[in-house]
């Protein structure tokens, strides 16, 4: 949708789209910018430039327009107090990990909190109307700007002011009036300082007008009035219009403080702590001048390097000042910002990894470590985490409960990065040899495959500058999830199936055949559970035809049959395979139990990544940073079985989706997004509460036993737990006992055989002098399994080991220079060859060992007198025995 066309259309009719009651009451004048042409509303009749181009742009730095000074947390108190006094409900922030949307990893705007996807439509579900929310948002497209521009953050608080225009809510006039009063009454900004700029917003098939409000060139908020859907000119009015006003809390603090950057007033005591570390005065005239120029030049130049260059020139900074002040300052701001983002993300259950949104988190932590290394400064990460959380906990108390978990993850991830540096250095040196900078795609591949950040490459002079598009491209690659295509079936005009498995759930029932196509059947009602949420479908029979698969398409259940199909209109008898259903049901409830048990044992970052429940086995994939130890597996299994033994009731209730979210939080979305208004909540007391459409036991005791059969790390940040439950678990244990007993018996037999062999070998060693005496005296033929021909000896007998072969071969060839000896024996999975040749034997031990070893697929080595070798191709044993006889005995 072309936003410029919409803006042109809306601006041609300002009375319809932009002129609100406040403008008429206060005397705002509509003007067009003499430089860029944008329309804006102002009380200053002499103003001819919009806020972006005005002479007063960013003039609040060093000269704030408010009588009072509020930092980040104080500014929120002011905002919250104002809106609550004016009839709004203050809502706690939603998680930064966007569990309720399958197309987003992270929450990128406050309105996302209340968006729910229903089919192909986005609907809005507000817990209150109107409301205000301090929503932490994560965005990673501008990471290269963080710490440099004075106002770019990787995470920021979007003050969300939202309303539906009904009996409780309001529309444009009230919204703009509230925002104006927030600035003038609550924050004490003179009304002449406020400028509104006309704009539009479009996305997700809907659009509407918006009014951005500025003070001294700083955009503080943007009130969007989402009103229409469709294409411009063919559009229609939405059934559900909404106000989406988003304001930056960081900017509210900045406008009242007038500090050189927004960073200086948004990180609490951590800022002064970092300034002390690098010995910089954060409020010097140099910094005010420099960052004012940075802010203004951001609107002029696309390239950040050009922005910095012109700001340096404007502020008159020397190379020494840049190196001593600006560069360390940018590093300090980056560290504070990135660490705050990581705290929010890890608290809400995200892990740094090389998968999905975890890419951005790992990147930020490595940027923190790289910045500290580059500045040669040692900072206590745990101390900085505590400072952040202690400063934010009044606004976001949930951060305190995850404090230690955050530290654990950051420590582990930091260690991994440090351990990988030697490998990174080798790869970087190879890149340096190429003599050219890698392009953006190559840099992304280097980061994804090997964890090499562009900052690291710049630090060691492999690249001169970080491409400005790097972070935006990386974010695009990993910010959005993928949806599987939906198979199209001929089910038009078929009514939704009555789902008996959510009602009385009979194992035998009658139904009417509504449609038959290929080998598929649709009934008017069914108790056959369809595949969903990782649970495999029921099997059984319909009209004596075998049901082998069941799927759900929207609200219609489709059964796949084998051996034939009934006719449309038939009344048919249906029967569920009860044993299969019960086994799958036990496995499904066991999945919930193992999920919560894993979280209890391992940490709060445990979330279900995916799951699979079949009749005879199941698996649960959870988010975790490392492979599980045997002790951890045992602890998880023991914790799960304690819940089983407690025989806790498994409760199933239905809630409105918004009610469920407010009552239980977003941990209910373990199995992914719920695309329906009514949510089915499965709870095992307060131990585990999830939104789930699967079948479950009545009490945990019905499961009887859960047994973990295997665990493995299937990808970075994801662990797979394979398990069985119920009768299958007991069968597994019995099989384990039988296998253990069999193995113990084999071990006893093996030990006995080994003992017999050792005894035989010892006897053989004792016979060496006797054998030597007989052979040297002229004995030929077979002697104690040694074949002898004119003092040339060979054996492949199992009773002779390496000690015998070396001692016997060495002694016989030293006593008789014309003799030779070759011994072949098995050592583990390898067939070994040892050869000795006397100085007058006419044979070469090295040649013999190499030739025989080659036949075994291995290699041999040595000299003409002594050599050895071998190989693992045991199928060639008879062949090399025959060859050895030929080489030794002739």
CB atoms within 10 A of CB 732: 19
Q: Is 569 left (phi over 0), alpha (psi -120 to 50) or beta?
A: left
State how far the alpha carbon of 218 is from the alpha carbons of 158, 184, 193, 456, 858, in Å.
15, 15, 11, 34, 75
Q: Do the Cβ atoms of 286 and 317 come closer than 8 Å?
A: yes
Q: Which residues contact 567 (CB under 8 A, 6 or more apart)?
A: 513, 516
**Spatial separation of the C-alpha atoms in residues 25 and 738, rounded to whole Å:** 88
pLDDT tens digits along 20-32: 999 999 999 999 9
Given a contact cutoff of 8 angstroms between Cβ atoms, the answer to whether 200 and 210 are in contact is: yes
Please give the full DSSP string across 660-680, using - where no structure is assigned: HHHHH-GGG-TT----SSEEE
* pLDDT the model gives residue 421: 78
432 phi/psi in degrees, rounded to 5: -60, -35
State residue 477's pLDDT score.
67
What pLDDT shows up at residue 1? Answer: 59
What is the Cα–Cα distance from 587 to 576, expressed in whole angstroms? Answer: 17
**Axis-axis angle for helices 72-85, 249-257 (nearest 10):** 110
10-residue mean pLDDT series, the chain (890 residues): 88 96 97 95 95 90 92 96 97 94 91 86 90 96 90 96 95 98 96 97 89 96 94 88 96 95 93 85 80 87 87 90 90 96 97 86 92 90 96 95 96 90 78 78 77 75 78 66 63 93 95 96 97 94 96 93 96 97 98 97 94 96 95 98 97 94 92 86 95 96 98 93 97 94 91 83 84 91 92 92 92 95 92 96 94 93 95 93 92
pLDDT of amino acid 456 = 75
What's the pTM value of the predicted model, to 2 decimals? 0.82
| Residue 527, CB-side half-sphere exposure with 13 Å CA sphere | 19
Question: Quick count: other Cβ atoms within 10 Å of Cβ 799?
Answer: 17
User: Given this model, what pLDDT does residue 482 score?
Assistant: 44
> Please, what's the largest Cα pairwise distance for the chain?
129
Distance CA 834, CA 807 (A): 11
Nearest to 226 by CA among 79, 6, 27, 374: 6
* Rg from Cα positions in the chain: 38
Tens digits of residue pLDDT in 331-377: 999 999 999 999 999 999 999 988 778 888 998 999 999 899 888 88
Confidence (pLDDT) at 269: 92
Q: Give the CA count within 13 Å in the CB-facing half-sphere of 630.
A: 0
CA pair distance 15, 280, nearest whole angstrom? 52
CA-to-CA dists, residue 379 to 336, 365, 369, 417, angstroms: 11, 13, 10, 16
The per-residue DSSP string of 367-383 comes to: HHHHHHHHHT----HHH
DSSP E strand boundaries for 107-177: 115-118, 121-124, 131-138, 155-163
Q: Report yes or no: 640 and 590 within 8 Å, Cβ to Cβ.
A: yes
Lookup result for tokens 């789209």: 17
CA distance 199 to 245: 13
């Amino acid at each position: 949708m072309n936003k410029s066309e919409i803006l042109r259309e809306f601006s041609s009719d300002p009375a319809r789209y932009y002129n609100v009651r406040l403008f008429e009451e206060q005397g705002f004048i509509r003007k067009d910018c003499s430089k860029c042409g944008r329309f804006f509303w102002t009380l200053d009749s002499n103003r001819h430039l919009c806020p972006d181009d005005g002479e007063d742009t960013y003039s609040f730095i060093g000269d704030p327009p408010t009588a009072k000074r509020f930092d980040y947390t104080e500014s929120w108190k002011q905002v919250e107090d104002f809106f609550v006094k004016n009839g709004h409900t203050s809502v706690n922030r939603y998680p930064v990990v966007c569990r309720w949307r399958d197309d987003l990893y992270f929450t990128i705007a406050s309105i996302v909190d209340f968006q729910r996807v229903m089919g192909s439509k986005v609907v809005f579900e507000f817990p209150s109307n109107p409301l205000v929310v301090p929503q932490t948002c994560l965005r990673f497209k501008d990471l290269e700007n963080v710490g440099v521009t004075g106002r770019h953050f990787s995470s920021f608080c979007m003050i969300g002011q939202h309303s539906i225009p009904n009996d409780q809510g309001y529309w444009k006039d009230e919204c703009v009036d509230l925002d104006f009063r927030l600035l003038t009454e609550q924050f004490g900004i003179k009304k002449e300082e406020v400028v509104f700029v006309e704009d539009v917003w479009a996305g997700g098939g809907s659009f509407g007008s918006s009014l951005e409000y500025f003070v001294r060139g700083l955009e503080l908020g943007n009130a969007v009035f989402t009103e229409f859907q469709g294409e411009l000119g063919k559009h229609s009015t939405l059934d559900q219009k909404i106000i989406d006003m988003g304001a930056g809390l960081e900017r509210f603090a900045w406008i009242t403080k007038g500090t050189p950057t927004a960073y200086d007033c948004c990180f609490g005591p951590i800022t002064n702590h970092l300034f002390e570390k690098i010995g910089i005065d954060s409020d010097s005239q140099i910094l005010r001048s420099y960052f004012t120029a940075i802010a203004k030049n951001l609107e002029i130049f696309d390239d950040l390097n050009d922005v910095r260059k012109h700001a340096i020139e404007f502020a008159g900074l020397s190379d020494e000042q840049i190196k001593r002040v600006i560069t360390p300052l940018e590093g300090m701001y980056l560290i504070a910002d990135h660490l705050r983002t990581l705290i929010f993300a890890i608290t809400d259950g995200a892990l740094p990894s090389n998968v999905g949104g975890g890419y951005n988190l790992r990147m930020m932590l490595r940027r923190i470590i790289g910045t500290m290394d580059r500045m040669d400064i040692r900072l206590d990460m745990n101390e900085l985490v505590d400072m952040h959380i202690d400063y934010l906990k009044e606004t976001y108390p949930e951060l305190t409960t995850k404090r230690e978990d955050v530290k654990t993850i950051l420590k582990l991830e930091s260690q991994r990065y440090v351990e990988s540096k030697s490998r990174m250095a080798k790869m970087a040196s190879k890149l340096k040899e190429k003599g050219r900078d890698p392009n953006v795609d190559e840099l992304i591949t280097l980061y994804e495959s090997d964890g090499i950040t562009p900052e690291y490459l710049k630090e060691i002079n492999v690249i001169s500058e970080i491409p400005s598009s790097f972070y935006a491209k990386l974010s695009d690659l990993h910010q959005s999830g993928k949806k599987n295509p939906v198979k199209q079936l001929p089910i038009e005009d078929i009514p939704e199936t009555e789902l008996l498995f959510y009602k009385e759930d009979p194992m035998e029932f009658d139904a009417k055949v509504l449609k038959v196509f290929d080998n598929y059947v649709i009934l008017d009602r069914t108790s056959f559970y369809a595949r969903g949420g990782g649970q495999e479908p029921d099997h059984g029979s319909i009209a004596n035809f075998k049901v082998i698969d069941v799927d759900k398409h929207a609200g219609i259940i489709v059964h796949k049959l084998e051996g034939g199909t009934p006719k449309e209109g038939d009344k048919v008898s249906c029967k569920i395979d009860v044993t299969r259903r019960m086994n799958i049901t036990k496995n499904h409830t066991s999945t919930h139990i193992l999920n919560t048990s894993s979280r209890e044992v391992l940490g709060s970052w445990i979330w279900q990544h995916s799951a699979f429940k079949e009749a005879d086995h199941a698996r649960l994939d959870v988010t975790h940073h490392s492979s599980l130890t045997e002790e951890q597996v045992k602890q998880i299994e023991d914790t799960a079985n304690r819940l089983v033994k407690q025989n806790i009731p498994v409760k199933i209730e239905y809630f409105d989706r918004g009610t469920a979210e407010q009552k239980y939080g977003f941990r209910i979305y373990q199995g992914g997004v719920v695309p329906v208004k009514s949510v089915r909540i499965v709870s095992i007391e307060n131990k585990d509460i999830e939104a789930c459409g699967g079948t479950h036991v009545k009490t945990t005791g019905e499961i009887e036993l859960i047994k973990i059969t295997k665990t493995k790390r299937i990808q970075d940040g994801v662990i797979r737990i394979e398990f069985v439950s119920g009768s299958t678990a007991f069968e597994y244990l019995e099989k384990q006992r039988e296998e253990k007993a069999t193995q113990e018996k084999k071990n006893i037999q093996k030990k006995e055989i080994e003992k017999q062999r050792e005894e035989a070998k010892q006897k053989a060693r004792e016979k060496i002098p006797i054998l030597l005496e007989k052979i040297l005296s002229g004995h030929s033929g077979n002697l104690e399994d040694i074949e002898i021909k004119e003092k040339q000896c060979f054996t492949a007998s199992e009773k002779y080991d390496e000690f015998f072969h070396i001692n016997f071969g060495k002694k016989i060839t030293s006593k008789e220079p014309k003799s030779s000896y070759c011994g072949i024996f098995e050592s583990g999975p390898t067939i070994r060859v040892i050869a000795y040749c006397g100085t007058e034997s006419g044979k070469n031990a090295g040649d013999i060992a190499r030739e025989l070893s080659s036949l075994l697929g291995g290699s041999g080595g040595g000299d003409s007198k002594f050599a050895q070798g071998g190989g693992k191709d045991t199928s060639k044993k008879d062949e090399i025995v025959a060859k050895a006889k030929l080489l030794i005995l002739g």
